[in-house]
């Protein structure tokens, strides 16, 4: 969407997908053809130029500027439908001798994800065993404009299913049994471009920014602590920075927009003190320059509900503690600089300019308690 374009948002209900302008009109977008029910998921591209959604038949991508169809994936194959709910398999035939090679499941896409510039889109289908006992390649990367399938992988888990891209779309990475495999987007026919090998690695996160880094996580094992390491994607020989800690069965990594600092939210599966149903949580701060790291000090007991970086990359907000939760603004060295008091809230978001913070209380996931929806201006 251009700078002059009005704000826009999409929503999904049981019966349709809606597209609506924001302030001041809040009117439906003209020319948008409602796809009706059975939309599995939808997503805007990062720049807001495209909106894509998945149905059992295909993925459709429109330009948000005029709601015109830009692409439909997969391509229609002559003489048959490529994706149907009624026909569970399609034949794979050897083009040389017209002999049946295998049977593959029809595409039933349930997840989609755009690359940073909207050049590519990933799709994920539920894994299905083929007639030869193998699992079909259910993670596919397509080029949006040409609708060409570029590469595919077998990805059994829906959690963290998508590849991660560098901001310039030159490379993407995915985790494969103790390794992170990187691919050159312009040379996919060459296979894996490089590998980061680290025993027991379970998660990774690529940074934004002009000089991308990768944060990797290795959970606790026996008496050894968990560890997060940061590497340059051009050199895996030695980490740029690292932090070890206990009480970390799983983590969430959040980079600032410049890719210079990383927040690591850790969580245990069980709270041994029996104070929280969701396990114990802690927050750690790491600098790519390796000149500073720390555990972020929080002055209220209870879980960490949410963390969000400001778009200016210099500040972040943490919502933490038993309800009513506390919200505090920290600087780029994890020092508290402003408190927003205590309220019933568990989610925080910055507006794109970084001047306002939206905090809200999500109840039973889908419902927002309107009495606790607040708009704070950063001093």
What CATH code is carried by the domain that includes residue 314?
2.40.10.360
Q: What is the pTM of this model?
A: 0.82
Domain that holds residue 84: 1-153
Band (34; pLDDT cuts 50, 70, 90):
confident
Q: How many CA atoms lie within 13 A of 327 on its CB side?
A: 25
Are 310 and 277 members of one domain?
no
Are 81 and 137 members of one domain?
yes
Are 306 and 288 members of one domain?
no
Kindly tell me if the per-residue pLDDT of 103 is higher than 70.
no
* Any domain includes 308: yes
* Any domain includes 226: yes
Token reading at 140: 């596919």
> Are the CB atoms for 145 and 74 separated by under 8 Å?
no
Residue after which a domain boundary falls, among 153, 183, 215: 153
* Any domain includes 18: yes
Are 289 and 301 members of one domain?
no
CATH number at residue 245: 2.130.10.10
Are 212 and 356 members of one domain?
no
Band (4; pLDDT cuts 50, 70, 90):
low
User: Which strands, in side-by-side order, build the sheet including 68-73?
Assistant: 41-44, 50-54, 59-63, 68-73
pLDDT computed for residue 101 by the predictor? 39
Tens digit of pLDDT for each residue in 144-190? 999 999 999 999 989 889 999 999 999 999 999 889 999 999 999 99
Q: Whole-angstrom Cα distance, residue 144 to residue 53?
A: 13
* Any domain includes 158: no
Are 290 and 303 members of one domain?
no
* Any domain includes 118: yes
- From residue 54, give the alpha-carbon distance in Å to each of 42, 72, 83, 122: 6, 10, 11, 11
Tens digit of pLDDT for each residue in 320-361? 999 889 999 999 999 999 998 898 888 888 877 777 676 666
Are 212 and 247 members of one domain?
yes
* Any domain includes 309: yes
Are 347 and 273 members of one domain?
no
What value does the mean pLDDT take over residues 74-102? Answer: 42
What number of residues does the chain have?
379
User: Which strands, in side-by-side order, build the sheet including 347-350?
Assistant: 347-350, 356-360, 374-377
Tens digit of pLDDT for each residue in 235-248? 999 999 999 999 88
Are 19 and 101 members of one domain?
yes
Band (270; pLDDT cuts 50, 70, 90):
confident
How many other C-beta atoms lie within 10 A of the C-beta of residue 252? 17
Tens digit of pLDDT for each residue in 304-324? 999 999 999 999 999 999 988
Are 285 and 203 members of one domain?
yes
Residue after which a domain boundary falls, among 251, 266, 294: 294
What is the number of domains present in the chain?
3
Are 125 and 222 members of one domain?
no
* Any domain includes 36: yes
Please, what is the average pLDDT of the chain? 83
Sign of the CA dihedral with 52 first, then 54, 55, and 57 last:
positive
Are 133 and 62 members of one domain?
yes
pLDDT computed for residue 1 by the predictor? 53
99 or 258, which is more confident?
258
* Any domain includes 197: yes
What value does the mean pLDDT take over residues 264-271? Answer: 86
């Amino acid at each position: 969407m251009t700078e002059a374009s009005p704000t826009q948002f999409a929503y999904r209900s049981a019966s349709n997908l809606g597209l609506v302008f924001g302030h001041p009109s809040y009117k439906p977008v003209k020319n948008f053809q409602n796809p009706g029910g059975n939309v599995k998921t939808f997503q805007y591209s990062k720049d807001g130029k495209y909106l894509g959604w998945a149905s059992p038949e295909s993925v459709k991508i429109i330009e948000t500027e005029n709601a015109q169809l830009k692409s439909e994936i997969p391509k229609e194959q002559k003489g048959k439908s490529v994706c149907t709910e009624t026909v569970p398999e399609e034949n794979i035939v050897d083009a040389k001798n017209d002999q049946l090679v295998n049977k593959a499941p029809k595409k039933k896409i349930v997840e989609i994800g755009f690359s940073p510039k909207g050049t590519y889109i990933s799709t994920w289908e539920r894994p299905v065993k083929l007639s030869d006992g193998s699992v079909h390649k259910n993670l596919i990367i397509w080029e949006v404009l040409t609708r060409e399938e570029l590469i595919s992988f077998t990805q059994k888990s829906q959690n963290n299913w998508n590849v991660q891209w560098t901001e310039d779309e030159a490379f993407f990475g995915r985790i494969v049994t103790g390794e992170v495999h990187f691919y050159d987007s312009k040379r996919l026919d060459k296979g894996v471009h490089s590998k980061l090998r680290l025993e027991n690695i379970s998660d990774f996160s690529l940074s934004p920014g002009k000089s991308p880094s990768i944060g990797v996580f290795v959970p606790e094992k026996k008496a050894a602590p968990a560890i997060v390491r940061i590497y340059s994607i051009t050199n895996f020989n030695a980490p740029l920075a690292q932090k070890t800690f206990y009480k970390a069965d799983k983590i969430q990594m959040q980079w600032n927009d410049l890719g210079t600092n990383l927040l690591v939210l850790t969580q245990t599966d069980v709270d041994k003190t029996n104070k929280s149903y969701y396990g114990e949580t802690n927050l750690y701060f790491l600098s790519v320059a390796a000149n500073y790291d720390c555990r972020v000090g929080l002055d209220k007991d209870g879980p960490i509900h949410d963390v969000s970086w400001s778009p200016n990359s210099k500040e972040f907000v943490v919502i933490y503690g038993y309800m009513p939760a506390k919200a505090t603004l920290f600087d780029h060295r994890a020092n508290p600089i402003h408190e927003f008091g205590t309220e019933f809230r568990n989610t925080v978001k910055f507006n794109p300019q970084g001047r306002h913070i939206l905090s809200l209380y999500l109840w039973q996931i889908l419902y927002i308690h309107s009495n606790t929806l607040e708009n704070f201006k950063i001093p």
